[in-house]
Amino acid sequence: MSSANASIWVVIPAYNEAATIREVTQRALAMLPHVVVVDDGSVDGTRSALEGLNADVLRNETNCGKGASIVRGCRHALARGAAAVITLDADGQHRPEDIPLLIDAARQRPHRIVIAARTLDTGAAPKARRCANKVGDFCIGWAAGHRIVDSQSGFRLYPAELLATVHPERDGVSGFVFESEILIRGAAAGFLTTAVAVPAIYPQAARPSHFRPVRDILAIGRMIAWQLLCKGLHPAGLWRSLGGGATKSATYRASRLGR
């Protein structure tokens, strides 16, 4: 493993993931040496499932939400010298073996947020989920001012400079808003997105999603609306999100990478 890779950390937020967290963490450790699991107040033995693994395990005494767990894990990694942080979910929907794709894209396009876009085998995703993701991509891309592929994917690489300088508002840290808001605020700070293609994995026996459709969609929608209003509805961002303008290249090789 190169010394450059050794400075890239993995952060895995986990809430009641005892059934999958050990395997996901082991696979992540096989890719990179530094893995942080943030146990977000689990009551199912998630923490004990990690015993004996060479991962840093942080514990939220109460359930603080995905965004807060990611922020805590990223701060832990940055304090220990991380040059970049890769986040992935604990439920098995992301393949840690795809981590090298994100690292390669980051090397070729530095100063970018790299998104593992679930554009391969999309038939595995529920139709309602696919439609909701397309709407999210459009709205978040509009507010961010460039086209974004799979804005709802939690499998990403964040440069340390972004994490050190861009801080979502309080509401964004509490739940699922964080992963949308950081794309918008990151773009405003000069950190656009680059997408790499990975499979869409939805295991048949997967536990129900922690995403609360009504509450979380309203929270994300309120955040996006506020961002657009602050930018006068951002007509230039609307044009670029539809594929116009110089930032079209932000979706670098999205349709050609993957296995």
> pLDDT digit string (tens) for 216-242?
678 888 889 988 998 898 888 888 888
Residues 6+ apart with CB under 8 A from 194: 105, 106, 109, 112, 113, 114, 115, 250, 251, 252, 254
Measured between alpha carbons, how far apart are the two ends of the chain, in Å?
A: 22
Determine how many CB atoms are found less than 10 A away from the CB of residue 4. 12
Two tokens, residue 4: 């450059």
Average pLDDT over residues 144-166: 95
pLDDT in tens, 54-64: 999 999 999 99
Find where tokens 């459709």 sit. 213
Asked whether the predicted pLDDT for residue 258 surpasses 80, the reply is no
pLDDT in tens, 60-96: 999 999 999 999 999 999 999 999 999 999 999 999 9
Asked whether the predicted pLDDT for residue 19 surpasses 80, the reply is yes
Average pLDDT over residues 153-163: 97
Output the pTM of the full model: 0.86
- Residue 20 gets which letter from DSSP? T
pLDDT in tens, 196-220: 999 988 765 556 555 556 566 788 8
What pLDDT score does 97 carry? Answer: 97
Asked whether the predicted pLDDT for residue 127 surpasses 80, the reply is no
Asked whether the predicted pLDDT for residue 120 surpasses 50, the reply is yes
User: Are the CB atoms for 135 and 213 separated by under 8 Å?
Assistant: no
Alpha carbons 183 and 179: distance in angstroms, whole number: 7
What pLDDT score does 179 carry? Answer: 93
What pLDDT score does 209 carry? Answer: 59
What pLDDT score does 182 carry? Answer: 96
Architecture of domain 3-251: Alpha-Beta Complex (3.90)
